[in-house]
Amino acid sequence: MTTTNPGAAAPKAGFRFHPKLWIGAAMLFAFPALGTAMSPEVNWGPEDFAAMGLLLALLCGAIEAAIHFLDAPRWRIGGIMLAVLLFLTVWAHLAVGLFD
């Protein structure tokens, strides 16, 4: 007969990859590429695509980490909101040229 300890935490499930998140980031990354190909008004260079790719990869990684490591739903939501706010802040600063 095995006894279970009701106060013991359940073992943490393995890392779960969220492909919809990464596909959404790839689609968001594709919009400027389409705009650059279709219109001369969208003028992105290789460094712009590299910066946006890095920002999106960091955002998705932070969201994945928040989902995996934070247990309470309110902490997960807070972690995701923090990641999105940091992403938007850096993106806005890069858009107006503060980091040049």
pLDDT tens string 22-42: 999 999 999 999 999 999 898
Does residue 8 fall inside a structural domain? no
Residues of the domain holding 65 = 19-96
Torsion angle in degrees (nearest 10) through CA of 22, 23, 27, 28? -30
Does residue 79 fall inside a structural domain? yes
Does residue 30 fall inside a structural domain? yes
- pTM across the whole model: 0.78
Does residue 2 fall inside a structural domain? no
Q: DSSP for 7-59?
A: TSPPPPPPP---HHHHHHHHHHHHHHHHHHHH-TT----HHHHHHHHHHHHHH
Q: How many domains does the chain have?
A: 1
Does residue 14 fall inside a structural domain? no
pLDDT tens string 50-68: 999 999 999 999 999 999 9
